[in-house]
């Protein structure tokens, strides 16, 4: 059976889809041929299938490098609903032995972890063993623009992911929805991709309307802006991004006092509190989340109707 037939069989049997979207087949076949792949496709275009399909078709395990616990948990939850064994290793997980790490690989098809975890002594020891090396068929780097955005400052381990190639003899896939061409080159160089395939499609989203308005940074002006876009009675599912945690808290308090169902999300909150806000937002128990920039990265929430950035982002990519 050829690569295309295998991939289409997995697509129907596991996911229940009759056909692939553009780019998915090209990326999946390249992985099955042993090539490295860089995928740049819009949010919601199905980048996850680009790494999941070939791994399932090859009957291997995939190591998924992900920047945030919330993103890992979202992906694991989706895979488990499909009856696909998957596990997330939390960023601040308790110590494991190499034997316990190996057990994760033998009992799961997808293992999600941060770059810090992947490069830890225990996991590198695990990867060095031939049993684990033979089982892992792909390293998938999700939100790969973090290599450039975060790797130069507060999370340098993103820049060190190339070390995994010394332990694991398998292809690497890097996925992003935001990286410009210059950044794509930096990503591929950082991951030591020599024989790579680039799968890239225009990022224009005709169903998304962009609107900018200059407004004072007072609480009154911000409220006027928000309620000028919609009414309290018909407030759609909305994410409001702010640059600082202090401003996030103040705005959350202000909107909550007006009877709106609002959640607060930033890095100083407890992990279980952040997870609860994410679940409440996904299920519609709260309609608005006031958050710093990390919220929502890669999480599948299809019914968000409005995103408000209060303050100019520092870069176009952000």
Quick one: pLDDT band at residue 296, thresholds 50, 70, 90?
low
Domain at 3-200, CATH from 3.40.50.300, 2.40.50.140, 3.40.50.970, 1.10.3210.10: 3.40.50.300
pLDDT tens track for 112-122: 999 999 999 99
Instruction: Tell me how far apart the alpha carbons of residues 178 and 58 are, in angstroms, rounded to a whole number.
Output: 29
Length of the chain: 318
> What is residue 44's predicted lDDT score, i.e. its pLDDT?
79
Quick one: pLDDT band at residue 315, thresholds 50, 70, 90?
low
Question: What's the pTM value of the predicted model, to 2 decimals?
Answer: 0.82
Three-state DSSP state, 263: strand
Chain-centroid distance, C-alpha 131: 28
Q: 219-310 falls under which CATH superfamily?
A: P-loop containing nucleotide triphosphate hydrolases (3.40.50.300)
Instruction: Tell me how far apart the alpha carbons of residues 76 and 301 are, in angstroms, rounded to a whole number.
Output: 15
CA distances from 60 to 78, 143, 154 (A): 19, 22, 33
> What is residue 318's predicted lDDT score, i.e. its pLDDT?
60
Asked which of 13-17, 61-65, 201-205 is least confident by mean pLDDT, the reply is 201-205
Q: Tell me: pLDDT of 229 over 80.
A: no
Quick one: pLDDT band at residue 38, thresholds 50, 70, 90?
very high
Element (H, E) at 149: helix 146-149
Give phi and psi for 101, each to the nearest 5. Answer: -65, -40
Instruction: Tell me how far apart the alpha carbons of residues 295 and 311 are, in angstroms, rounded to a whole number.
Output: 16
Instruction: Tell me how far apart the alpha carbons of residues 142 and 87 are, in angstroms, rounded to a whole number.
Output: 15
DSSP state of 237: S
Give phi and psi for 311, each to the nearest 5. Answer: 120, 140
Instruction: Tell me how far apart the alpha carbons of residues 215 and 210 are, in angstroms, rounded to a whole number.
Output: 16
Q: What is the largest CA-CA distance in the chain?
A: 64
Q: Which two tokens stand for residue 296?
A: 């929502």
Three-state DSSP state, 318: coil
Q: Which residues of the chain are in CATH 3.40.50.300 domains? A: 3-200, 219-310
Average pLDDT over residues 123-145: 91
Q: Own/partner pairs for 150-157, CB < 8 Å, 24+ apart? A: 150/67, 151/190, 155/67, 155/115, 155/116, 157/114, 157/115, 157/116, 157/119
């Amino acid at each position: 059976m050829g690569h295309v037939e295998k991939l289409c069989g997995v697509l129907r049997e596991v996911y229940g889809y009759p056909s692939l979207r553009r780019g998915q087949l090209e990326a999946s076949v390249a992985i099955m041929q042993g090539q490295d792949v860089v995928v740049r496709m819009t949010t919601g275009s199905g980048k996850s299938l680009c790494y999941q399909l070939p791994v399932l078709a090859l009957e291997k395990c995939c190591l998924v490098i992900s920047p945030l616990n919330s993103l890992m948990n979202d992906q694991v939850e989706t895979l488990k609903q499909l009856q696909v064994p998957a596990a997330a290793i939390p960023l601040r997980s308790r110590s494991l032995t190499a034997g316990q790490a190996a057990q994760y690989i033998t009992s799961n098809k997808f293992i999600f972890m941060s770059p810090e975890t992947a490069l830890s002594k225990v996991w590198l020891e695990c990867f060095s063993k031939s049993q684990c090396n033979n089982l892992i068929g792909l390293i998938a780097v999700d939100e790969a623009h973090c290599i450039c955005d975060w790797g130069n400052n507060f999370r340098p381990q993103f820049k060190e992911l190339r070390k995994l190639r010394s332990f694991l003899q398998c292809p690497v896939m890097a996925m992003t929805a935001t990286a410009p061409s210059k950044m794509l080159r930096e990503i591929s160089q950082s991951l030591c991709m020599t024989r790579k395939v680039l799968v890239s499609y225009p990022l224009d989203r005709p169903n998304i309307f962009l609107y900018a308005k200059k407004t004072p940074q007072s609480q009154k002006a911000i409220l006027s802006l928000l309620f000028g876009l919609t009414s309290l009675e018909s407030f759609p599912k909305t994410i409001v991004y702010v640059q600082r945690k202090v401003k996030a808290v103040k705005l959350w308090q202000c909107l909550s006092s007006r009877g709106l169902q609002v959640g607060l999300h930033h890095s100083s909150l407890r992990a279980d509190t952040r997870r609860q806000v994410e679940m409440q937002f996904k299920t519609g128990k709260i309609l608005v989340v006031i958050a710093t920039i990390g919220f929502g990265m890669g999480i599948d929430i299809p019914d968000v109707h409005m995103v408000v950035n209060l303050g100019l982002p520092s870069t176009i990519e952000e």
